[in-house]
Structure 1
Amino acid sequence: MNRPLFSLLLLYAAASLSAQDTLSVELKQLRATAQNKNFELLRSQAQVGEAQAELLKSRAAYLPNVEVSYTGTHTNNPLMAFGSKLNQERVQMEDFNPSKLNSPDGIFNFTTKVEVQQPLFNKDALYQKKAGEIRVEALKDYSTRSRQYVDLEVRNAYMQLQMSYAMEKVLRQAYSTVLANKAVVANYFKNGMVQKTELLEMEVRQSGIESQLKSAQAQVESASDYLFFVMGENPKGRILKPSEELSLDNKLIAPTTLPLERNDITSQQKALSSFDYMIKASQATLLPRINAFGSFELYDDKPYQFDANGYLVGVQVSWNVFDAKKSHAQSQILAAQKFSKSLELEQYLEKSSMELRKAYRQIDESMARVELAEKALEQSEEAYRIRKNRYDQGLEKATDLLGAETMVSEKQLALVESTFHYNRAVAHLDFLLNEPITQ
């Protein structure tokens, strides 16, 4: 493929990026946006809201239940007709006539009734309420941990975007260097000082970098799209560009033990403790239940009139003496689930400690790679400088110069990648240590 076509394609790729709206963004801004719009966070908040709504049902364990009704009837049923007259306080001597008692005329009855039920002692309901409260607290802790995870995702995505731009910058610098070297070789070739093969080798190298540049530009777009996704937004043709360039995070790393106050751990601990109250609630179903009740009624044979009234109050004690051992079986099921949950928590703690130790090792390994990459880059730059001077003096071939230049760009890319991996390891350690979200 000829050079003009390569240049045209490269210009087209650059134009496609510039045609999109490029936004310079800060990490602080992105973290704040994600905390308000991320889909996973919105879903976890909905779960907390659902648990809180379920908890409202437990208020039935201590709050009264009040119902108001208004009923109109018409009947000639002997018993109901006589009873309705009694309630309406309209019974007269002739109503005791056996013929009227046996075959009464139809009668209207309109009743307004206020009914109240007040729990006095329902121990199982109180235990269930307590278990529900602990479940809400566990979900809140889980939601907080989800926020920390999303914050980690934003940091990683932002660093990925920084690395993509840094790699593109390295390749553009390499492209400029190749073009400059190619111009020198072309001039030498024009004057008959070098063979055409050396010029062709320069063109091959130029083609390779152009291909790498296209991939780097695509990687920038992909990293930007993912960052938009984590924030819960649609790109809409926009490209994000980090306001800060990729640089080594020099945060002081001091080894420490697993923090048991970490929100994912406290969430599981609270979920485990809720089983105690569920077991007590199951056992308490065999205890007596005491409930008060009462009603006040207004009667009349005409609608919306209230000439007579009456009331009823009482207390009910009920006791499920034998439930075919259902409560005992439920208690055993819950006890087994609690034991399983305790083993799961113990395993989770061991795994979390292992991940923490691994994170410290990754930081040490990543730092070692950064230091090696810096040293290798310094050596390759010096080697290229020497090769370039010797080539200008006619002591080296274009192949040697290309090899040295390629090595420099490779070591620059390796340093960018090593820096990214180190910073990502630091961010992951912050997450494992339950570092608070700072924006």
Structure 2
Amino acid sequence: MTKKKNLNRMRKFLTVVFVFSLVLKGFSQDTIRISRAELEQRMVDQNLQVKLANDEAKLAQAELLGTRAMYLPNVNASYTFSNTNNPLYAFGSKLNQERITQMDFDPAKLNAPDAISNFATKIEVQQPIINMDAVYLKKAGQVKSEVLKIKAERTKEYIQFEFKKAYMQLQLAYRMLETLENAKTTTLANKKVIDNYFKNGMIQKTEVLYIDVRVKEIENQIAYAKSNIKNASDYLYFLLDEESFNKVFKPSEKLEFQNQILENTATLNVERKDLQAYQKSLEAYDYLIKSTKAKFLPRLNAFGSFELYDNKFAQFGANGYLAGVQLSWNVFDGLKAKSEQEKYKAELTKAQTEITQYNKQSQLELNKANRQVQDAENKVNLSKLALEQSKEAYRIRKNRYDQGLEKSSDLLMSETTMSQKDLEYQQAIFEYNVALEYYKFLKN
């Protein structure tokens, strides 16, 4: 009986362990170590914003295909049935069918003909030859397509910057977690000493409580750091257009200070992709203006048709053709083309003003970014010095505390300051690296 009870207890225990393991598995997450280069390559191929920019460029290229109508023929085919006793149409249908006889000229039949059926097959061809307004419209479309391609390249450069920033944010989150865990290790070591002192009656209960509060504070900061890791990782997954459920990235490279000497005066690069796109867009307006002017030039087009007629279905007893060339002018269109011309001229002037403003704003932003890099570098140097001083101060206080010359509250304050200065130093490195990457993005 006792053996059976033990067996049942063992089964219950194994069931609990199995269920508990399933719960833990459900809450666990995979840590995926990945390098910056690998992520950047995947981002270029997968990012939604880059895809949208490329799709927009492809759309403009597809719209440009419509301009092929300026040199390709337009061909229509039709098969028409009609039945009429209208004197004019009846005589004409019979004439097209090549069935006119002497009797058909009888005035009585001409005035009141019998109903006649007509089956007509017709193939029409219209061939553009010279239409200068369409030529300029095509050139404007080509410029638009090129502009959108350049904008797509600039979008890719921006996403690359955004990715680098997100990757460094992930590096910072892991570095802060490491710093806090080191601080926790140091604090727990001090707590062990303080607990022993308290047991031996050498210190007051308040000092034990101080160190307990500090431990809880660090644990809370560690939880916050882990949350930041998940947030930074989720954003990287968003940039990659991938699901982040139960997955978290871990960078292969650690956050490091990327010191770089910059010129004192930052000069705007006129070959920058966005500036190129704005400047090139002016060409489209020039072609649109030329297109409206060309609407008053003569147009030369050819046309032709081949026709088959019969009074029976699917019969082709008679045929004929028509071919010609037409030279035409649009002498007056109610000032519609002139209005369009003035509209495009106004849009061109507006675009030129916007480009001037954008260039000046870009120069201001570049100057500001240059100063931000310099300010961030100063912050890194000062925070590094503060960290070194706080470490030395903690070392001195720790030695004095071990000799009984310092209070535990002073030691705790010194350790807290050292941990805080370490976090500030890592934050300063992150801010400098981001400022430097942003400056490079604006510069190139």
TM-score, normalised via structure 2 length: 0.90
Counterpart residue identity of residue 71, structure 2: Y
Say which of 307, 321, 325 aligns to 1:315.
325
Within the candidate set 281, 287, 290, 2:297 is matched to 287
Instruction: Quote how far apart the aligned CAs of 1:283 are.
Output: 1.6
Shift of 1:74: 2.6
CA apart distance, 1:252: 5.1
Using the alignment, how far apart are the partners of 1:311 and 1:30 within structure 2? 66
AA partner of residue 109 (structure 1): N
Distance 2:99 2:38 in 1: 78
Structure 1: any 5+ residue segments left out of the alignment? 1-14, 435-439
**Residue by residue, what CA displacement relative to the aligned partner does 1:320-345 show, whole Å, maximum 9, x if unpaired?**
22233332232222212111111111
Q: How does 1:321-336 map to 2 (within 5 A)?
A: 321-336=331-346
> Which residue is equivalent to 1:218?
227
Instruction: Give the counterpart letter for 2:211 in structure 1.
Output: M
Structure 2 matches for 1:187-226, cutoff 5 A?
187-226=196-235
* 1:264 positional shift: 0.3
Render the CA deviation track for 1:87-146: whole Å, top value 9, x for unaligned.
121222222233333333333222221111112222111111111110111111111100
Letter in 2 for 1:107: I
1:16 Cα offset (Å): 9.7
User: Partner amino acid for 2:268?
Assistant: L
CA shift, 1:17, in A, is: 11
TM-aligned CA deviation for residue 254 of structure 1: 4.7
What residue number does 1:37 align with?
46
Q: What is the CA–CA distance in structure 2 between the aligned matches of 1:98 and 1:181, rounded to whole Å? A: 128
Which of 35, 46, 50 is residue 55 of structure 2 equivalent to?
A: 46
Output the amino acid matched with 2:107. Answer: P
Report the secondary structure of 1:73's partner residue.
strand
Query: Do residues 144 (structure 1) and 147 (structure 2) align?
Result: no
CA RMSD between the two structures:
1.8
The equivalent residue for 1:168 is 177
CA distance in 1 between counterparts of 2:121 and 2:291 reads 38
In structure 2, what is the Cα distance between the partners aligned to 1:63 and 1:155?
49
> Percent same amino acid at aligned positions?
50
Partner of 1:369: 379
Q: Distance in 2 between matches of 1:305 and 1:296?
A: 15
Q: 1:37 to 1:291 in 2, by over 3 A?
A: same
Report matched runs for 1:7-406 at 5 Å.
19-251=28-260, 253-254=262-263, 257-406=267-416
Paired with 2:117 and 2:332, the residues of 1 have a C-alpha distance of 45
In the alignment, the residues of structure 2 paired with residue 357 and residue 17 of structure 1 have an alpha-carbon distance, to the nearest angstrom, of: 50
Residues 34-67 of structure 1 show CA distances to partners (whole Å, capped at 9, x for unaligned) of 2222222222122212212222222222221111
Gaps of 5+ in 2: 1-23
The amino acid of 1:93's aligned partner reads Q
Contact persistence 1:299–1:307 (CA under 8 A)? yes
**Match in the other structure for 1:10:** none
Q: Provide the rounded CA distance (Å) in 1 between the counterparts of 2:192 and 2:228.
A: 30
Q: Deviations over 1:371-412 (max 9, x none)?
A: 111111111111111111111111100111011101111111
Aligned partner of 1:6 in structure 2 is none
Contact 1:152 1:431 (C-alpha < 8 Å) held by counterparts: yes
Distance in 2, matches of 1:95 and 1:252, equals 101
Residue type at the aligned position of 2:224: S
Secondary structure at the counterpart of residue 383 of structure 1: helix
| Greater Cα shift, 110-119 or 385-394 | 110-119
Structure 2 distance, partners of 1:17, 1:112, is 73
Q: 1:164-217: CA deviations, max 9, x gaps? A: 111111111111111111011001111111111111110011111111111111
Match for 2:31: what amino acid? T
Matched residue type, 2:382: L
Task: Give the Cα separation in 2 of the matches to 1:301 and 1:283.
Answer: 50
Q: 8 Å contact 1:387–1:396 — kept in the other structure?
A: yes
- C-alpha distance in 1, partners of 2:419/2:217? 12
Between 1:159-168 and 1:46-55, the stretch displaced more is 46-55
Instruction: Find the aligned partners of 1:150 and 1:231 in 2 and give their Cα distance.
Output: 10
Question: CA distance change for structure 1 residues 421 and 56 in 2, over 3 Å: closer, same or farther?
Answer: same
Measured against aligned partners, the alpha-carbon deviations of 1:271-305 in whole angstroms (never above 9, x if no partner) come to 11211111111122222222211111112222223
Q: Compute the displacement of 1:22 (Å).
A: 1.5
Structure 2 counterpart of 1:428: 438
Larger displacement relative to structure 2 (365-374 or 17-26): 17-26
* Contact 1:154–1:231 (Cα < 8 Å) also in 2: no
- Equivalenced residue count is 420
**What is the Cα deviation at residue 163 of structure 1?**
0.5
- Over residues 8-50 of structure 1, what are the superposed CA-to-partner deviations in whole Å (9 max), with x where a residue is unaligned? xxxxxxx899811211121122222222222222221222122
SS at 2:124 equivalent: strand
SS in 2 for 1:119: strand
